[in-house]
Amino acid sequence: MWQVILCFGITFLILEMIIPGIFFLNFAIAAFICAVLSLFIADLVILTVLFCVLSLILMYTLRPLLVKCENNKKQQTGICAKYVGKRAKVVERTDKNSGAISIYDERWQARTKDDTVLEIGEEAEIIDYESIVMFVKKV
């Protein structure tokens, strides 16, 4: 019995990975708890009721906490909000292959997305980023 319930839990985990949204995780945790409880409780009706109750409890308690943590993580690493759309000063000739800008007293590698060339001292607007490289355009 516990093997079947464990398979349901693994299925819910796979669904959570395929369809992210912190929805199926609640069912997976409830299934894992029920798999352990099935070692002591043999009645399928009781296990089904426990699964439903645990799923509802987890959905109303765990899911809001996980969503809040996910939103906080996005805010902490919000490089897009801090830099994209802002103006920076070109500190090294910037073109499609190389260059550098300065913003908030920080030096960043910079590139243009087209064939535009920005000279030292010009102002540039940050339009995108990729890892540690900012993509800029002439203001």
- What domains can you pick out in the chain, each with its CATH number? 2-76 (no CATH), 80-138 (2.40.50.140)
Residue 89 pLDDT:
95
pLDDT, tens digit (0-9, with 9 covering 90-100), for 28-40 = 999 999 999 999 9
Residue 73 pLDDT:
58
- Token output for 93: 């000739």
Are residues 117 and 93 in contact, defined by beta-carbon separation less than 8 angstroms? Answer: yes
Residue 57 pLDDT:
93
pLDDT, tens digit (0-9, with 9 covering 90-100), for 44-67 = 999 999 999 999 999 898 878 877
For the chain, give the DSSP string: -HHHHHHHHHHHHHHHHHS-SSSHHHHHHHHHHHHHHTTT---HHHHHHHHHHHHHHHHHHHHHHHHHHHHHHHHHT-HHHHHTT-EEEEEE-B-SS--EEEETTEEEEEEESSS--B-TT-EEEEEEEETTEEEEEE-
Are residues 2 and 39 in contact, defined by beta-carbon separation less than 8 angstroms? Answer: yes
Residue 2 pLDDT:
87
Residue 91 pLDDT:
95
> Is pLDDT at 139 greater than 90 in this prediction?
no
pLDDT, tens digit (0-9, with 9 covering 90-100), for 60-114 = 988 788 777 776 655 545 666 688 889 999 999 999 999 999 999 999 999 999 9
Whether pTM exceeds 0.75: no
C-alpha distance across the termini of the chain, in Å? 67
Residue 108 pLDDT:
93
